[in-house]
């Protein structure tokens, strides 16, 4: 019988990338993590002994606790958190089980951006349309749920990045930008090792819409239309970003498990 506070790798994989995904807390020991320095997408490192610090970071949000094998460290901490009223589960089998799961991405620790006060900081050109909303969506859903994004005039992106210690993206001469015929969304998928079937399909649509190559994906025309319409609704880039997340949440679910569904008005109802 499954434990009441465990979650399996396939169950967790279905939640990652969605707006309702729980916080994922990696409490692998330093020795274990050094031997295998990879993270489950969206997770953050935290020492198992700092329970009060973790509770302050979680607040009332649910979480999944991950250790190397899903035994004493994660089970003990998950139960402790539950005794304090926090909905906590441990990952069955731990990182060992996650590594064995097909299509389960792992982010190299070396690719993660430097965080200040527990969040990464990014900056790009103002008035976003496609790539500059798709990339923040990817970062928030799969890399750093607390990431902050700044939108400034194109001429000031580099200077703002230097002054505030931010990462410039989707701008010329940035490491986090277009590479050849690929867009910034593609670059981030590669850098974060997030190439899954769903995200690959999604990246084709984003690339087609962002680079005006609608022959790559028929859905690109729809994404462009919705993106332009969204930009006309909001004067504030941050409000537009938050509204745009819903658009990319829907696109991700289509890419993950909705591509086979079609819709039409049944002809027999017309007679």
Flag whether 57 is in a domain: yes
Q: Are 28 and 148 members of one domain?
A: no
User: Would you tell me the crossing angle of helices 219-233 and 237-257 to the nearest 10 degrees?
Assistant: 160
Task: Decide which of 81, 106, 131 is a domain's last residue.
Answer: 106
**The model's pTM:** 0.95
**Residue 225 pLDDT class (50, 70, 90 cuts):** very high
Supply the pLDDT for residue 43. Answer: 96
**Of 103-112, 145-154, 260-269, which gets the smallest average pLDDT?**
260-269
Q: Are 77 and 42 members of one domain?
A: yes
Token digits for 154? 């194109």
Supply the pLDDT for residue 114. Answer: 79
Flag whether 148 is in a domain: yes
Q: Are 241 and 176 members of one domain?
A: yes
pLDDT tens per residue across span 189-200: 999 999 999 999
pLDDT at 184 over 60: yes
Q: Are 81 and 156 members of one domain?
A: no
Q: Which domain covers residue 73, as residue numbers?
A: 6-106
Flag whether 270 is in a domain: no
Q: Are 132 and 218 members of one domain?
A: yes
Task: Decide which of 63, 91, 106 is a domain's last residue.
Answer: 106
pLDDT at 151 over 90: yes
pLDDT at 143 over 70: yes
Task: Decide which of 86, 106, 126 is a domain's last residue.
Answer: 106
pLDDT at 185 over 80: yes
What would you measure as the largest C-alpha separation in the chain, in angstroms?
71
Supply the pLDDT for residue 269. Answer: 61
pLDDT at 32 over 60: yes
Q: CATH number of the domain at 28, please.
A: 3.40.250.10
How many structural domains compose the chain? 2
Q: Are 129 and 242 members of one domain?
A: yes
Supply the pLDDT for residue 4. Answer: 80
What's the CA gap between 58 and 65, in Å, rounded?
12
Token digits for 22? 């729980």
pLDDT at 208 over 70: yes
């Amino acid at each position: 019988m499954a434990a009441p506070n465990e979650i399996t790798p396939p169950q967790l994989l279905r939640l990652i990338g969605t707006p309702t995904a729980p916080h994922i807390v990696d409490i692998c020991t330093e020795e274990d993590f050094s031997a295998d320095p990879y993270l489950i997408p969206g997770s953050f490192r935290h020492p198992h002994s700092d329970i009060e610090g973790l509770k302050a970071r979680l607040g009332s949000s649910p979480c999944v606790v991950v250790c190397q094998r899903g035994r004493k460290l994660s089970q003990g901490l998950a139960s402790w958190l539950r005794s304090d009223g926090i909905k906590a589960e441990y990952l069955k089998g731990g990182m060992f089980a996650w590594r064995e799961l097909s299509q389960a991405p792992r982010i190299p620790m070396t690719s993660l951006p430097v965080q200040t006060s527990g969040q990464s900081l990014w900056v790009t050109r103002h008035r976003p349309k496609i790539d500059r909303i798709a990339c923040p969506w990817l970062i928030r859903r799969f890399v750093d749920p607390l990431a902050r994004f700044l939108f400034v005039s194109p001429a000031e992106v580099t200077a703002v990045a230097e002054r505030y210690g931010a990462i410039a993206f989707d701008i010329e001469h940035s490491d986090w930008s277009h590479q050849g015929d690929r867009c910034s969304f593609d670059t981030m998928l590669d850098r974060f090792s997030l190439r899954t079937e769903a995200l690959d399909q999604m990246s084709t649509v984003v690339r087609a819409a962002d680079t005006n190559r609608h022959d790559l994906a028929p859905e690109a025309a729809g994404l462009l239309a919705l993106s332009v319409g969204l930009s006309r609704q909001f004067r504030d880039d941050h409000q537009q970003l938050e509204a745009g997340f819903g658009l990319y949440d829907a696109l991700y679910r289509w890419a993950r498990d909705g591509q086979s569904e079609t819709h039409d008005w049944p002809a027999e109802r017309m007679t």
